[in-house]
Amino acid sequence: MPDQRGNGMQCNEFESLLTDAIDGVLTGPGLDRFQAHVRVCRTCGPLFAEAEAGRNWLKGLTEVEPPASLVTNILASTTGVDTQRLRVTVRSAQVGITWWERVQASLLEPIWATVRQPRFAMSFGMAFFALSVCLAVAGVKPADLRQVSLRPASIRLAYYHTHARVVRYYENVRVVYELEAFAQQVKRNVRPAATAPAKPKDNKNDTTQQPEQKQERNYSQTDNHLILASVPLGPSLRDLPVVSVTTDRRFV
Amino acid sequence: MEDVQVVAMLVRRCIAGDSAAWEEIVQTYHRRIYNICYRFAGSGDDAQDLTQEVFIKMYRTLSSYDPTKGAFVTWVTTITRNLLVDHFRKTKQDRLTDSIDTAASEHEDAQPLSEQIPDQSVPPDAQVRSREVGETVHAALARLSPELREAVILRDLQDLDYREIATVLKVPEGTVKSRINRGRAELARLLQRTYRQVM
């Protein structure tokens, strides 16, 4: 913006006073100087006119009416509670909140709001249905529950009975029996015939009452090894030069 | 504009989990937020979605509001503005870049802007003309740059004072005034150009 002077005012000063002038808060000699600059300056004069026109256009805009469902949608997306219920429970502005209301508001209402959601209700219903089906298949009747004794001894007895029943049932299942028999047969076929199970040592005549001596011998000092080491070399071999061989310890 | 004590009590009740207090806040501020969103985004559907997002964000961050730092309406407007800026950045690629003759909102019955200019030869009903002029200005507003648009919306449509706008936009007051002046002037130039084309 060119820095023109009009009635002692610069364009920078004009711009800083423009909003005040349009808002109508610029009065007195400041307003006179401002208006004089507007009349003289070829840049600031149109700018003032445009800014004022733009403000008038904007002031002519009316407030838009939000959609009727907006509040309901907002409440549903934030608290998850429909507004109709809340409208009933809207209370007048409270000055003080008791501790019980605080607990109720902070703990119970969120839980209740969650429980009331259709998704949660459907899940709960499905879980209840699945449980009741399982109990019916297992032969549990609600009437039987009245006769159940909750004493520790009774509970323990019931546990052992149930455990024994389950084990009996498992062992008597035909599939399990056949599978076990098949596995044993396969094991017998795979095991070589020569490797017969070692006979247990007969200790019946051992009356020393001493612990069994374990064979812990060093095989490098046995006689066989010494014999092999002392094999005499023949005359032809004795004349051969000694060659030291270094291997890479590569074994094929 | 708002009773600080009443709003502070409402906020405390909300934080404590009182859903009735939250509904009161929604009822009080939804119109204002919707209008900011509508004027900034230019579309009613976008404004509705954005308003919901603003309230969801408010609901989650309500405990961070400090009454000693400023008015609740300033806090709410700041959240709204930040969300609008995010939305603007996200939709930058998708935004329409056509001329002012393109329809800017669903309220305009999909007519080009030049066709919405009131016909001077046949004077229509005043209410209809006023609505059409409003839609023309709204379309022109959507053509302003986001910096200028948000400044004039907060000043001329939401009547915030310069200090509050400076707080919301996080710029000095002088910058706010400069943006408002430039925004108003640019809007007037756009509208003058449009009317000149029609005439």
Q: Residue B23 and residue A86: Cβ atoms within 8 Å?
A: yes
pLDDT at A204 (0 to 100): 56
Residue-wise pLDDT tens digits, A7-40: 677 888 888 889 889 888 888 888 888 888 888 8
**Chain B environment of A81 (Cβ under 8 Å):** 19
Share the mean pLDDT of chain A: 73
Alpha carbon distance B39, B27 (integer Å) = 20
- Judged by a CB distance cut-off of 8 A, whether residue B45 touches chain A is no
Q: What is the DSSP string of chain A?
A: -----BTTB-HHHHHHHHHHHHHT---HHHHHHHHHHHHH-TTHHHHHHHHHHHHHHHHTPPPPPPPTTHHHHHHHHHT---HHHHHHH--PPPS---HHHHHIIIIIHHHHHHHTSHHHHHHHHHHHHHHHHHHHHHT--GGGGGG----HHHHHHHHHHHHHHHHHHHHH-HHHHHHHHHHHHHHHHHS-SS-PPPPPP--TT--S-PPPPP----GGGSHHHHHHHTPPPPHHHHTSPP----------
- State the average pLDDT over residues A233-250: 52
- State the average pLDDT over residues A233-243: 53
pLDDT at A92 (0 to 100): 44
Q: Residue A74 and residue B55: Cβ atoms within 8 Å?
A: yes
- Judged by a CB distance cut-off of 8 A, whether residue A18 touches chain B is yes
Cross-chain CB nearest to B20 (options A59, A64, A90): A90
- Judged by a CB distance cut-off of 8 A, whether residue A50 touches chain B is yes
pLDDT at A111 (0 to 100): 77
pLDDT at B148 (0 to 100): 93
In this predicted structure, the answer to whether residue A48 has a pLDDT above a threshold of 80 is: yes
In the structure, what pLDDT confidence band is assigned to residue A95 with cuts at 50, 70 and 90?
A: very low
pLDDT at A213 (0 to 100): 52
Residue in chain A closest to B107 (alpha carbons) equals A64
pLDDT at A242 (0 to 100): 55
Alpha carbon distance A37, B187 (integer Å) = 23
- Judged by a CB distance cut-off of 8 A, whether residue B129 touches chain A is no
Alpha carbon distance B108, B38 (integer Å) = 14
Q: Please give the average pLDDT of every successive group of 10 residues along chain B, which has 199 residues.
A: 76 86 90 92 89 92 86 91 88 57 45 48 64 86 91 91 92 93 93 74
pLDDT at A246 (0 to 100): 52
Q: What is the 3-state secondary structure (H, E, C) of chain B?
A: CCCHHHHHHHHHHHHCCCHHHHHHHHHHHHHHHHHHHHHHHCCHHHHHHHHHHHHHHHHHHHHHCCCCCCCHHHHHHHHHHHHHHHHHHHCCCCCCCCCCCCCCCHHHCCCCHHHHCCCCCCCCCHHHHHHHHHHHHHHHHCCCCHHHHHHHHHHHHCCCCHHHHHHHHCCCHHHHHHHHHHHHHHHHHHHHHHHHHHC
In this predicted structure, the answer to whether residue A162 has a pLDDT above a threshold of 60 is: yes
In this predicted structure, the answer to whether residue A209 has a pLDDT above a threshold of 60 is: no
pLDDT at B106 (0 to 100): 45
Residue-wise pLDDT tens digits, B172-197: 999 999 999 999 999 999 998 887 76
Q: Residue B23 and residue A113: Cβ atoms within 8 Å?
A: no
pLDDT at A61 (0 to 100): 86
Considering chain B, what percentage of its residues have pLDDT values greater than 90? 38
pLDDT at A79 (0 to 100): 78
In this predicted structure, the answer to whether residue A234 has a pLDDT above a threshold of 80 is: no
